[in-house]
Amino acid sequence: MLEIKNLHVAVDGKEILKGIDLIINAGETHAIMGPNGSGKSTLSYTLAGREGYDVTKGRILYKHQDLGEMSPEERAGNGVFLAFQYPVEIPGVPNTTFLKEALNAVRRYRGEEELDAMSFIKLVRQKTKELGISEDMLKRAVNVGFSGGEKKRNEILQMAILNPVLAVLDETDSGLDIDALKIVSDGVNALRSPERATLVITHYQRLLDHIVPDYVHVLANGRIQRSGGKELANELEEKGYSEFAEAAE
């Protein structure tokens, strides 16, 4: 589903990713772990198509199409979803309006009928209930005045509504208490299926107790230094990243 080949990415002329190779097949969940500043967030923004993240070498194929050729909205239309590490506050736009515009934009792109107000409300009610999100959070402006945990839950709500094929979760566990972590993880796990794939980007192992990955990769200094099964996460939790930081020097 996703094939990253020798990916080099520069931000403001500085090379951050220095040759990433990664293949994710449908039905798989991969985790990328790494120390701060290793390029984890650069990878997630590059996948979502943020301006200023220049692919200088290599490429990303998504469902055999060149992802780099697509605008952020086309990527979303094609099923790519990024749960932001720092969800953006948008004053003046009610959360519901945002969700409805997003869902209908994606549905239009996919050649599906737009949802009418009634069906939309029904869908949102069901998802908010599952994720333990209050109605109040829907009425407020997007992420404005939300606590860290509320913001992350709101990301998962968007994911549940947009129903992506490839979900990229960037540090979704940061700022979450145990209960919230459980809710968010359940939301992610509910979406796992043979047709979809998930890429979990995290600094800590604890999220991977809830969203159990098939593969774990260690990213340091802009490259994947090591790959393995879920046991690699536990090893990292014990030993830390110092080994890789040294290797990169």
Partner 1 sequence: MHEITEHLVKNFEGQLPHLPGSDLNWVEAMRRSGLELFNDVGLPNTKMEEWKYTRLRTLEDTRFQPVNEGNGAAKVDQLPTLFTGQKEIPRIVFVNGCLRTDLSDLDNLPDGVLVHSLSGSLAYDPVWVRSYLGRIGQMDSRPLFALNTAMMNSGAIVRVRKGVIVKSPIEMIFVAGLTNVPVAYYPRNLIVLEENSQATLINIHDGLGVGPYFANSVTEVDVGNNANLRHYRVQTENLEATHIGSMHVRVANEANYETFSMSAGGRLSRTEAFVRLEGEGAHCRVNGAYFMKGREHCDNTTVIEHVVPHTKCREVFKGVLDDEACGVFQGKIIVHKDAQKADGHQLSRALLLSDKAEMDAKPELEIYADDVKCSHGATSGQIDESALFYLRSRGIPDALARNMLIRSFMAEAFEEITDEKVRDAMANLFMHRLPAQCFLSEEWTRDKLSNE
Phi and psi at 27, nearest 5°, equal 90, -10
Does position 13 interact with partner 1 (CB under 8 A)? The reply is no
# residues contacting partner 1 (CB under 8 A): 34
As a whole number of angstroms, the distance between CA 13 and CA 9 comes to 9
**CB of 224: closest distance to partner 1 in angstroms?**
24
Q: How far is the CB of 93 from partner 1 (least distance, A)?
A: 5
Whether the Cβ atoms of residue 24 and residue 214 lie closer than 8 Å to each other: no
Stretch of 17-25, 67-75, 127-135, 171-179 contacting partner 1, by CB under 8 A: 67-75
Considering only residues 189 to 208 of the shown chain, the ones binding partner 1 according to CB under 8 A are: none
- Is 156 a binder of partner 1 (CB under 8 A)? no
Q: Please tell me whether residue 117 binds partner 1 under the rule CB under 8 A.
A: no
**Per CB under 8 A, does 88 bind partner 1?**
yes
Do you know the residue count of the chain? 249
β-pairing, 14-24 vs 197-202, is unpaired
Nearest-angstrom CA–CA distance, 59 and 36: 24
Q: Which is nearer to partner 1, 33 or 165 (CB)?
A: 165
| Helix or strand holding residue 105 (H, E) | helix 95-109
Angle made by CA atoms 78, 83, 87, in degrees to the nearest 5: 125
DSSP state of 115: P
CA 45, 48, 50 angle in degrees (round to 5)?
A: 60
Helix axes 117-131, 148-162, angle to 10 degrees: 130
**Choice from 87, 187, 213, 222 touching partner 1 (CB under 8 A):** 87
By the rule CB under 8 A, 50 interacts with partner 1: yes
Asked whether the beta carbons of 16 and 42 are under 8 A apart, the reply is yes
Asked if 139 is part of the footprint of partner 1 (rule: CB under 8 A), the reply reads no
CB of 230 to partner 1, least distance (A): 29
- Choices 6-14, 69-77, 178-186, 209-217 (CB under 8 A): range interacting with partner 1: 69-77
Residue 108 near partner 1 by CB under 8 A:
yes
Determine if 49 is a binding residue for partner 1 (CB under 8 A). yes
Q: Does 71 bind partner 1 (CB under 8 A)?
A: yes
Say if CB 200 and CB 233 are below 8 A apart. no
Determine, following the binding rule CB under 8 A, whether residue 102 of this chain makes contact with partner 1: yes
* The only residue of 91, 194, 238, 242 in contact with partner 1, by rule CB under 8 A: 91
Rounded Cα distance, 42 and 183, in Å: 26
Which residues of this protein are in contact with partner 1, per CB under 8 A? 48-51, 71-77, 81-82, 84, 87-93, 97-98, 101-103, 105-106, 108-109, 111, 141, 158, 162
